[in-house]
Chains A and B, each alone.
Chain A
Amino acid sequence: MSYRKLFYAANFLLLAAFGWALFVDYATDWQHNWRHYQATYYKMAGDELDRQANEEKDPKRAADLHDQAKAMRNSPLMIRQIIVDDLGRYDRCTTCHVAMDEYTNPTLKTPAGWDNPYKGHPKVDEALVKAHPFTKYGCTACHEGQGQGTTVEGAHGHVLHWEHPMLSTKLGHIQGSCVKCHGNFETLKGAEIAAKGRALFKQHGCYGCHAINGWGQAVSVGLEAIADKPFERIAGYNYDRVRITDPEHPELGPQKLPENEWNIQNWILAHLTNDPEWVTPNDPFAELNKEPIPPSGMADYSRFVDDHDTGASELSRADADAIVAYLSGMTQEEMIPYRWHVPAPAEHEPKFADAKAHGHYVFQKYGCAGCHGLDAKAGRRRFNALGKGQADYDPKMSKEELFKNMELGREPTLPDLMGTYSHDELVAKIAGGVSAADAKKWNPNGPLPMVYMPAWKDKISKPELDDLATWLLSLAKKDDSGF
């Protein structure tokens, strides 16, 4: 090949490469490039205007509508964005979702049968959308996702290294965005799933280990900023063990998540639908560390409520999604302007006529269900503590045997114990707590059982303690003779 030929070939290839780069830029993934969607919208809107023109009786109006249709079809393709000054963002969602742009489509409505991204915004006539004009709030304030993106995957945010992908509307996670600003979300129309999430959070004892803004116990991580948790702090090793059922394909069962679905919503969901002991097994046999480290002390909410494995879950998938919705609003991003916040009404302590009902309320209020089970039915798992059904400790047992037995450790099941306490003894016990040093290990070489009974005397007031004891004593199991 002579150099002259090489010269021509090289120049041609350079031009071709440049043309290729332009082509890729304009038409890549033809289906996923914003130009395609915008052009299709203009065509659809133009056709609709033409259809209206054909049905129009008045000829002048019909001609006018035909002109509008022509102008619509010839609209120039451009990136459209909503500049949200208050958040310092610009959301380019309306580049593809043109019908949701108030300037192109003032009614924000489209004919029936139009699907995403061409359809208008749902609930346009409802107070929800009217109270949140898009020009002020943009799109990502509620929907999250990567507002700067102009490709399908990029904008929806289910990509590596984007930590706030779009929240699911189907599963209700989007209602977490209501929680971000609305302190009154529990009584807000449209935030029912998030409200249910908070109610479940209280009922199932989450406050027993997780504090939110100081309320609750600091046994595990505080959750007031859980939606901001950076992914670097979640070990890939643990995320790799998560299995989540895709609601679009329930027949496939729990699946490993691809890395672009590793987001905080799925991480919280994993805690509620997977066994935390499996997701975070740590090192109970001191294979990698000097001291044994017990697996996650969180209960398995995807399984049984009491010690008899009924096969039912304590939290259904819908329940788990509601809690995810609630916790998705737990963010402390300073970027949300102060004046966007809607204050919560003052939370009054409900008054109870019945001491037992009050005691039950107190049990939920302080998160006792976190260790002692939902409604104190059965004590939760406590790794390497003593529990029913454990064999006698034998150092020659295999690792699997040891693990199986250590797993059987439980917190005390209160109905079994209440019969042995008098009212004052019980109040004193709760007020004084049980120190960690008193924990009895099943496997002396295993890890120290986590979670002990704290001293509640500084947290629970005397009248609350009294009623709590009353309620607990009423749960006591009675033997045949009625004692």
Chain B
Amino acid sequence: MPTLDIEKIKKEVVDSQLWRSVFRGGVWKDTPRDRAAHIVGNVWLHLHPVKVRPRALKWSYTWGMGGISFALYLLLTLTGVALMFYYRPTVGLAYRDIKDLEFAVTLGRFLRNSHRWSAQAMVVAVIAHMVSVFLRGGYKKPREFNWGVGVLLLTLTLFLSFTGYLLPWDQLAIWAVTVGTNMAGATPFLGNEGPFGGLMGMHINNDVRFTLLGGTMVGENTLLRFYVMHCVAVPLVVGILLILHFWRIRKDSFSAAPYQANEEKVEVWPHLIKREYIAAAGVVLFIMVWSILQNAPLESIANPNVTPNPSKAPWYFVGLQELLVYFDPWIAGVLLPGLIIVGLMAIPYIDTNPKGIGVYDWKERAFANTMFMLGIVMWFVLIYIGQACRGPNYAFYPPWESWYILKAAPPSTWSVFGPAGVGALPILLGIPVIGGLFGASMLLPKLIQKELNGKVVLGGFLAALAVLAGVGMALGKFGPVSGAFMLFFGGVAFYFGFILPQRHIRSLDWPRYLVTMGLVVCTMAILLKMCARLTFNIKYVLTIPAISLNI
């Protein structure tokens, strides 16, 4: 029996014309030259640099979130294409095709579950990626544009998830999309129910909501439109932006970890590649196990005549839906999300602090980190309340209470500034008052030039509030819960809206200062309006029904 010389066979295979024409290299040896060639000579990997700083490799540095988001995106594309073999986007067939996936297609249930759970995981991963990049200052010069691209990618991820949500055509789908798209109808100027919409000639059959739905309500056209957006249009745009995003990462010298003298870089092959592989494998494994163990929800077939009580948007939008309790749709659904997106994109341009690029640095970046984390915490707290604490008729149900316990209707509300008969005080007074308060809150921190003792000022403010709350409770105007709300919201708004900016950004130049304070005061306004509603049952601070403007 002739002995097999493995090495010789290997060499002959690798030196053959077939192999060389495809792979272009010879036998790989474990030398620096060949390790570099692995990266440079491979179309999928060559966006990586050949060497990378060892600090950037640590899991605790990036949590791998960017790579995990991309791995999930690839998994979604793969499972999505497979699903497209079985799914037809018409109202007569969509629901039945989902049922067939569950009952008749081999691994159909597994496939659908993988797609759904990957989508939820990707939304979480993309947000986690944004948080980790922010906390590392990875958006500062020269990476401002890439951060903006990332914000766009976040928006498109949410939109992909939203359009996909409609496709099963069950009750969950149709009503979640109805809630979401009705917010579009409240767009200022372009929506038939938004401020100034009527003046622009917007009606239910020609406004921006009509464009989105392809009709006046969620129906056959909407399903087709959302299917095309979900499977073709938006993935193409996301693909283009991802190419841009990765290109800029490389061009901005890959990792933002700051230079150190005498730092020895390590080779990307194998050190970064192996971590990327393990992360991707871990993600796929996680999704597989989750998909085997838990079924994606499917309710009864969509019925436009029957509205579930309560009807909720998908979880990532339910925080905005919770804000609908306190604000009109044009604010909660259009203005605030718009401000969030624009505000996020503006951050690199208003943050001039040169410290903390590429490292986690809480001390040097106290203002930036605190304000950003306030936003993230508010976002998730509102999601939690909207998802777990809102029951039938959107009444407040603590998580331990059964939704079978009926609740009384909420107390009647009143408006502060409005036309006669609607508001307690006239509109003409309200516009300067509200505008003045807004402007004063914006200007005050910079106008007080010397550093105030935060503890003393906050303590004094809380004491004053406590006195007011006490007086109010003694007069029987409201109860202890409302008093507690006053202290909480007032304290938080004062701390984040006055004390922090006063301490940190009063030295900022005027344009940047105004933009920053504008965003900060808007955020505080949300908290204060929530307090107003919860404590005093105020519906609108200012309402001008003639132009559908209600704040």
Chain A positions within 8 Å of B, measured between CB atoms, are 3, 6-7, 10-11, 13-14, 17-18, 20-22, 24-25, 79, 88, 92, 146, 148-151, 154, 161-163, 230-233, 236-237, 240, 283, 287-290
* 28 A-B pairs whose Cβ atoms sit less than 8 Å apart in the complex: A3-B275, A6-B278, A7-B281, A13-B281, A14-B281, A17-B289, A18-B288, A21-B107, A21-B288, A21-B291, A22-B107, A24-B292, A25-B107, A25-B109, A79-B104, A92-B103, A148-B96, A148-B100, A148-B103, A154-B103, A161-B171, A230-B303, A230-B305, A232-B309, A233-B306, A236-B404, A283-B406, A290-B409
The CA of A225 and the CA of B162, in the complex, are separated in Å by 34
**Chain A residues with CB under 8 A of B480:** none
B116 to chain A, nearest CB (A): 15
Question: When the two chains form their complex, are residues B308 and A25 in contact, meaning their CB atoms are under 8 A apart?
Answer: no
Question: When the two chains form their complex, are residues A7 and B308 in contact, meaning their CB atoms are under 8 A apart?
Answer: no
The CA of A288 and the CA of B410, in the complex, are separated in Å by 10
A441 to chain B, nearest CB (A): 23
The CA of A151 and the CA of B308, in the complex, are separated in Å by 28
**The residue from A18, A163, A237 contacting B406, defined by CB atoms under 8 A apart:** A237
**Chain B residues with CB under 8 A of A18:** 288
Question: When the two chains form their complex, are residues A150 and B103 in contact, meaning their CB atoms are under 8 A apart?
Answer: yes
A17 to chain B, nearest CB (A): 4
Given contacts A6-B278, A148-B99, A162-B300, contact A14 B104 (CB under 8 A): no
Known contacts A25-B110, A161-B300, then 17 further A-B pairs from the complex at CB < 8 Å, ordered by chain A residue:
A3-B278, A7-B274, A7-B277, A7-B278, A13-B285, A14-B284, A14-B285, A17-B285, A21-B288, A88-B92, A148-B100, A149-B103, A154-B102, A161-B171, A163-B300, A237-B404, A237-B406
The CA of A7 and the CA of B280, in the complex, are separated in Å by 11
The CA of A11 and the CA of B282, in the complex, are separated in Å by 10
The CA of A20 and the CA of B96, in the complex, are separated in Å by 26
Given contacts A10-B285, A14-B288, contact A150 B278 (CB under 8 A): no
The CA of A176 and the CA of B5, in the complex, are separated in Å by 79
- For B111, the closest partner residue in chain A by CB is A21
- For A151, the closest partner residue in chain B by CB is B103
Q: Give the top 10 A-B pairs by smallest Cβ distance, nearest first.
A: A10-B281, A17-B288, A150-B103, A288-B408, A237-B404, A161-B300, A230-B306, A232-B306, A3-B274, A21-B110
**Chain A residues with CB under 8 A of B21:** none
B252 within 8 Å of A by Cβ? no
The CA of A17 and the CA of B113, in the complex, are separated in Å by 14
Q: Report B273-314 residues with CB < 8 Å from chain A CB.
A: 274-275, 277-278, 281-282, 284-285, 288-289, 291-292, 298-300, 303, 305-309
**Chain A residues with CB under 8 A of B284:** 14
The CA of A61 and the CA of B270, in the complex, are separated in Å by 72
**Chain B residues with CB under 8 A of A230:** 300, 303, 305-306
The CA of A24 and the CA of B409, in the complex, are separated in Å by 48
Question: When the two chains form their complex, are residues B278 and A10 in contact, meaning their CB atoms are under 8 A apart?
Answer: yes
Question: When the two chains form their complex, are residues B409 and A288 in contact, meaning their CB atoms are under 8 A apart?
Answer: yes
A293 to chain B, nearest CB (A): 11
- For B293, the closest partner residue in chain A by CB is A24
**Chain A residues with CB under 8 A of B307:** 232
The CA of A92 and the CA of B102, in the complex, are separated in Å by 13
The CA of A406 and the CA of B175, in the complex, are separated in Å by 41
- For B170, the closest partner residue in chain A by CB is A161
Per-residue contact bits, chain B 92-133, to A (CB 8 Å; 1 contact, 0 not): 100010011011101101100000000000000000000000
**Chain B residues with CB under 8 A of A3:** 270, 274-275, 278
**Chain B residues with CB under 8 A of A151:** 103
Question: When the two chains form their complex, are residues B299 and A161 in contact, meaning their CB atoms are under 8 A apart?
Answer: yes
The CA of A237 and the CA of B300, in the complex, are separated in Å by 20
The CA of A146 and the CA of B102, in the complex, are separated in Å by 12
The CA of A141 and the CA of B282, in the complex, are separated in Å by 48
B403 within 8 Å of A by Cβ? yes
Chain B positions within 8 Å of A, measured between CB atoms, are 92, 96, 99-100, 102-104, 106-107, 109-110, 170-171, 270, 274-275, 277-278, 281-282, 284-285, 288-289, 291-292, 298-300, 303, 305-309, 403-409
A27 to chain B, nearest CB (A): 12
**The residue from A11, A17, A240 contacting B292, defined by CB atoms under 8 A apart:** A17
The CA of A148 and the CA of B301, in the complex, are separated in Å by 14
- For B303, the closest partner residue in chain A by CB is A230
- For B100, the closest partner residue in chain A by CB is A148
Given contacts A10-B281, A21-B292, contact A289 B309 (CB under 8 A): no
The CA of A3 and the CA of B407, in the complex, are separated in Å by 57
A424 to chain B, nearest CB (A): 49
The CA of A306 and the CA of B16, in the complex, are separated in Å by 101
A418 to chain B, nearest CB (A): 43
A165 to chain B, nearest CB (A): 12
Question: When the two chains form their complex, are residues B298 and A161 in contact, meaning their CB atoms are under 8 A apart?
Answer: yes
The CA of A287 and the CA of B408, in the complex, are separated in Å by 7
B491 to chain A, nearest CB (A): 34
**Chain B residues with CB under 8 A of A163:** 300
The CA of A92 and the CA of B100, in the complex, are separated in Å by 11
Question: When the two chains form their complex, are residues A148 and B104 in contact, meaning their CB atoms are under 8 A apart?
Answer: yes
The CA of A236 and the CA of B289, in the complex, are separated in Å by 33
B446 to chain A, nearest CB (A): 51
B270 to chain A, nearest CB (A): 8
A286 to chain B, nearest CB (A): 10
The CA of A134 and the CA of B109, in the complex, are separated in Å by 29
**Chain A residues with CB under 8 A of B171:** 161, 232
**Chain A residues with CB under 8 A of B309:** 232
**Chain A residues with CB under 8 A of B270:** 3
The CA of A4 and the CA of B77, in the complex, are separated in Å by 28
B30 to chain A, nearest CB (A): 13
**The residue from B278, B289, B300, B406 contacting A231, defined by CB atoms under 8 A apart:** B300
A2 to chain B, nearest CB (A): 10
**Chain A residues with CB under 8 A of B106:** 25
The CA of A122 and the CA of B284, in the complex, are separated in Å by 50
Residue in B306, B309, B406, B409 whose Cβ sees the most chain A Cβ within 10 Å: B406
**The residue from A92, A148, A149, A288 contacting B407, defined by CB atoms under 8 A apart:** A288
**Chain B residues with CB under 8 A of A237:** 404-406
Residue in B96, B109, B275, B281 whose Cβ sees the most chain A Cβ within 10 Å: B281
Question: When the two chains form their complex, are residues B406 and A288 in contact, meaning their CB atoms are under 8 A apart?
Answer: yes
- For A2, the closest partner residue in chain B by CB is B274
**Chain A residues with CB under 8 A of B277:** 7, 10
Given contacts A7-B277, A288-B409, contact A232 B100 (CB under 8 A): no
- For B407, the closest partner residue in chain A by CB is A288
B95 to chain A, nearest CB (A): 10
The CA of A231 and the CA of B102, in the complex, are separated in Å by 23
**Chain A residues with CB under 8 A of B100:** 148
The CA of A289 and the CA of B409, in the complex, are separated in Å by 7
- For A89, the closest partner residue in chain B by CB is B96
B378 to chain A, nearest CB (A): 32
Residue in B100, B104, B284 whose Cβ sees the most chain A Cβ within 10 Å: B104
**Chain A residues with CB under 8 A of B170:** 161
**Chain B residues with CB under 8 A of A232:** 171, 303, 306-309
- For B96, the closest partner residue in chain A by CB is A148
B385 to chain A, nearest CB (A): 21
- For A149, the closest partner residue in chain B by CB is B103
A170 to chain B, nearest CB (A): 26
The CA of A383 and the CA of B107, in the complex, are separated in Å by 57
The CA of A6 and the CA of B309, in the complex, are separated in Å by 48
B285 to chain A, nearest CB (A): 5
- For A22, the closest partner residue in chain B by CB is B107
**Chain A residues with CB under 8 A of B103:** 92, 148-151, 154
- For B99, the closest partner residue in chain A by CB is A148
The CA of A163 and the CA of B299, in the complex, are separated in Å by 10
The CA of A14 and the CA of B92, in the complex, are separated in Å by 37
The CA of A162 and the CA of B284, in the complex, are separated in Å by 32
- For B274, the closest partner residue in chain A by CB is A3
A3 to chain B, nearest CB (A): 5
A226 to chain B, nearest CB (A): 15
The CA of A79 and the CA of B99, in the complex, are separated in Å by 14
A101 to chain B, nearest CB (A): 17
**Chain A residues with CB under 8 A of B99:** 146, 148-149
The CA of A149 and the CA of B298, in the complex, are separated in Å by 14
